[in-house]
Structure formats: structure tokens, C-alpha cells
């Protein structure tokens, strides 16, 4: 069987004479514009019950999609179902528009139009689609730190449509931050980082609710900060905060997306021991004891290549999205190491420590330590 293929001009002329022009794309695709005179019916709906949309089998039907493939396949289906006057538009809506033929936009509520347009590239991914994008819209993420790691991660999580970002940081913007902390600008030097971050993310995506919490994470507030969130992204730059977040996430059953940078090297992992005791490790399984302070300087002391936090923060954002969408293979039980000078990644397997004082199965939560003292640093 062969399918008659029409140019957009031919299809428009036949439609003006009474042929049914059907756009078989999904609703979110049609939101960006449909061939004038077309009726929108998703291919799956059309094939499920063609009579409901087309009527008698001798109806003249012209199908159009984005590029011509889906409409051709749907036309073959209809032909096999007994429809005798079926055609497909060569080049689809893309060629229709390129040829200068008129388009119309379906009438949608403003928020629905924004959703379909803003996230159109996500919606085309079968692994995301409308359902997955709605999951992101309903998600809550705690971002600890609005600095080098939190900046790229925050930008891309907001751009991806994560519905609520709670950002905790007690610092202010300094000129030395601008080399890598791309959420902030020269004009916002001296402003609280969380305020600056909220302004930047709100300008990028007004549909994302940013909760700015100008606080340092402590044992007194950590459980409040973790309340109701789905994933925690650790963008802190010190060991006391990392151990505290790890212990709280194990206790409360929250996945923790870890990232760290120094000089030209970075690390990323997902610690999910709170939900997978004995199967997934926690941060303490990797680092039972912190290194002495003299062997673990922070970025202010040791320096960092400006683009490195961007790379690591984006990898963290990628892991957050995978966890929220439940797709792919998260870095659970794996430590990804990146060497920027050699441009080399190394993936190391991590096992849960059966003797871990925090996450070993059956171990009661030991309570929050004096993490500054534990890590050998001052308050």
C-alpha cells in the first residue's frame, strides 16, 4: 500500500474544498501552532476510534504532523482500516510554516500555554512527557548553598520547572564570588545570596516558587529545612555541613545529592541510605572521619578554577532531575570523580558500611554531633 503525499499548498487547497485536515501531534506540540483549518486529534486517539473523528470510510482525510512521518504512519493505519481517501502532508507543520502558510494557535489558558511552550523539549521526551513535567512542577528541592555549586544547579532546576526551590545560605555576595557563582551580579554585591538567587531564578522562570532562607544549616534547623522536600542538593563547601546534612537525610529518609570541588577536581554522588539501608551508602560510609583541616582547605583557601563548580553543579542538577523523575541510573553507590585538567571522569563503586554508626541496618539514630568539633574546625 502507498500513501498519497501532498505538499502543504496542495493540502490547503484540498482542505478548502472539504477534505478533513487532521493534526495528529500531541496537544502540547499543537500549542506552538497548527496549520490553519486543521483539527487537532492525537494519533493514538485517532487510531483508537477513527469513526468518532472521521465518520464514514469514504471521507477524504489529510493528516499532518511535525515533519511528516507520524502522519504517514497514521495514514497507513487508516488505509488498512478501510479508509480509501487518505493523504499525508510532506514535511508536516515545519514545511507548512516554512512555506509561509498561515498557522493558528489553539485557545488555551495562559498558564497552560506557558507550560506547553516553556517545557516543549521535555514534553517530547518519552521519559518525561506531560506526566513527568507535572511531577517536576509538584516537586520540592532543598538547595544548601547559593554559591559555586548552587548557582548552576539552581539555574537549571528552575529552568527545568522544579516547582519549589528552598535555598538556605547565610552569606552575602562578594566580588570574589562572581568568578564562579553565576547566580549573582556586580549590582548585587553586599546583598544576601538567597535574595540575589531568588531574583535571578524568578527572572528566569516566574512559575518556580523560591523560598529564600537566610540561615546557616545547623543541628537546630536542619530538620525544619528538610521538611516536605523530595531531594536535598548539597552545595555547601565545608565538612560540618556535609556531615550534618548526611545524618539528617539518613534519619528522615531523603536522598542527598553530594558535590564538592577544589582547585581543578570535583566529585559527585548520590547518598540514599535513608531509604535503602544496607544497600546504598551514606556520606559517612565514604568518609567515616573528616580529614584534618590542613589537608582539606576550602575554595577560599586553595582556589578553584571558575568553570569547575559549573560542571559539578550541573551534574548534581542532573542527578536531582533523575531522582525526581525516577529515570536512568542515579549515582547511588557510585562516586564520580572529575579532573578538569586531564578532562577525565572516573567512576568508583561505593558499598554501604555494615558498621556505619549512622546508616547500618538496625542502628538507632545517634543524634546530631557537634559537627564543628567533630571536623576539627571552629564555629
What the chain holds in terms of domains, given with CATH numbers, is 4-108 (3.40.250.10), 122-374 (3.40.50.720)
Report the number of secondary-structure helices (H) and strands (E) in the chain.
17, 15
- Give the contacts of 339 (CB within 8 A, at least 6 positions apart): 264, 265, 345, 346
| pLDDT for residue 128 | 97
From first to last of the 379 residues of the chain, give the pLDDT tens digit.
Answer: 699 999 999 999 999 999 999 999 999 999 989 999 999 999 999 999 999 999 999 999 999 999 999 999 999 999 999 999 999 999 999 999 999 999 999 888 999 999 999 999 999 999 999 999 999 999 999 999 999 999 999 999 999 999 999 999 999 999 999 999 999 999 999 999 999 999 999 999 999 999 999 999 999 999 999 999 999 999 998 899 999 999 999 999 999 999 999 999 999 999 999 999 999 999 999 999 877 665 556 666 778 999 999 999 999 999 999 999 999 999 999 999 999 999 999 999 999 999 999 999 999 999 998 888 778 665 4
Using the 8-state DSSP alphabet, how is residue 220 labeled? T
Helices assigned H by DSSP within the chain: 8-16, 27-30, 43-48, 50-54, 69-80, 92-98, 110-118, 120-123, 129-138, 150-160, 193-204, 222-226, 239-252, 283-286, 299-302, 308-325, 371-374
| Residues 257-270: tens digit of each pLDDT | 999 999 999 999 99
What are the pLDDT digits (tens) for 62-106?
999 999 999 999 999 999 999 999 999 999 999 999 999 999 998
Query: Per the structure block, which three cell numbers stand in for 361?
Result: 541496618
pTM over 0.85: yes
Output 369-373 pairs: Cβ under 8 A, ≥24 positions apart.
Answer: 369/219, 369/243, 369/247, 371/219, 371/239, 371/240, 371/241, 371/243, 371/244, 372/240
4 phi, psi to nearest 5 deg: -70, 125
Give residue 145's region: left, alpha or beta (phi > 0; psi -120 to 50).
left
Give the pLDDT of residue 378.
54
CA neighbor of 235 nearest in space, from 189, 194, 190, 294: 194
Active-site residue (options: 299, 356, 359, 375): 299
- The C-alpha cell at 119 is 517545557
Nearest alpha-carbon partner for 148 in 280, 293, 309, 290:
309
| pLDDT given at position 107 | 86
Q: In the annotation, is 359 catalytic?
A: no
Identify the pLDDT of residue 371: 80
C-alpha cell at 272: 540514599
Amino acid at each position: 500500500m502507498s500513501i498519497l503525499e501532498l505538499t502543504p499548498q496542495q493540502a490547503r487547497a484540498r482542505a478548502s474544498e472539504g477534505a478533513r485536515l487532521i493534526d495528529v501531534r500531541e496537544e502540547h506540540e499543537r500549542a506552538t501552532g497548527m496549520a490553519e483549518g486543521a483539527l487537532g486529534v492525537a494519533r493514538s486517539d485517532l487510531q483508537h476510534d477513527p469513526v468518532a473523528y472521521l465518520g464514514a470510510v469514504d471521507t477524504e482525510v489529510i493528516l499532518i504532523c511535525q515533519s511528516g512521518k507520524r502522519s504517514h504512519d497514521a495514514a497507513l493505519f487508516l488505509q488498512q482500516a478501510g479508509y480509501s481517501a487518505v493523504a499525508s502532508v510532506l514535511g508536516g507543520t515545519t514545511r507548512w510554516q516554512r512555506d509561509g502558510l498561515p498557522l493558528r494557535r489553539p485557545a488555551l489558558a495562559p498558564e497552560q500555554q506557558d507550560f506547553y511552550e516553556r517545557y516543549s523539549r521535555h514534553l517530547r521526551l518519552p521519559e518525561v512527557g506531560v506526566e513527568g513535567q507535572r511531577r517536576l512542577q509538584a516537586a520540592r528541592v532543598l538547595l544548601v548553598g547559593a554559591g559555586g555549586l548552587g548557582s548552576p544547579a539552581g539555574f537549571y532546576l528552575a529552568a527545568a520547572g522544579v516547582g519549589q526551590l528552598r535555598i538556605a545560605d547565610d552569606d552575602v555576595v562578594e566580588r570574589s564570588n562572581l568568578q564562579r557563582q553565576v547566580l549573582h551580579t556586580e549590582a548585587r554585591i553586599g546583598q544576601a545570596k538567597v535574595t540575589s538567587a531568588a531574583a535571578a531564578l524568578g527572572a528566569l522562570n516566574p512559575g518556580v516558587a523560591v523560598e529564600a532562607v537566610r540561615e546557616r544549616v545547623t543541628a537546630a534547623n536542619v530538620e525544619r529545612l528538610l521538611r516536605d522536600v523530595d531531594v536535598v542538593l548539597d552545595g555547601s563547601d565545608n565538612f560540618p555541613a556535609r556531615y550534618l546534612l548526611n545524618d539528617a537525610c539518613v534519619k528522615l529518609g531523603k536522598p542527598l545529592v553530594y558535590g564538592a570541588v577544589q582547585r581543578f577536581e570535583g566529585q559527585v554522588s548520590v547518598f540514599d541510605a535513608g531509604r535503602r539501608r544496607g544497600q546504598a551508602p551514606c556520606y559517612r560510609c565514604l568518609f567515616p572521619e573528616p580529614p584534618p583541616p590542613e589537608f582539606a582547605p576550602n575554595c577560599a583557601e586553595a582556589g578553584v578554577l571558575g568553570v569547575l563548580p559549573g560542571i559539578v553543579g550541573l551534574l548534581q542538577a542532573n542527578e536531582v532531575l533523575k531522582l525526581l523523575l525516577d529515570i536512568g541510573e542515579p549515582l547511588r553507590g557510585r562516586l564520580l570523580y572529575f579532573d578538569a585538567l586531564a578532562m577525565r571522569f572516573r567512576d568508583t563503586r561505593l558499598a554501604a558500611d555494615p558498621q556505619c554508626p549512622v546508616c547500618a541496618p538496625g542502628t538507632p539514630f545517634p543524634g546530631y554531633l557537634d559537627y564543628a568539633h567533630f571536623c576539627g574546625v571552629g564555629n
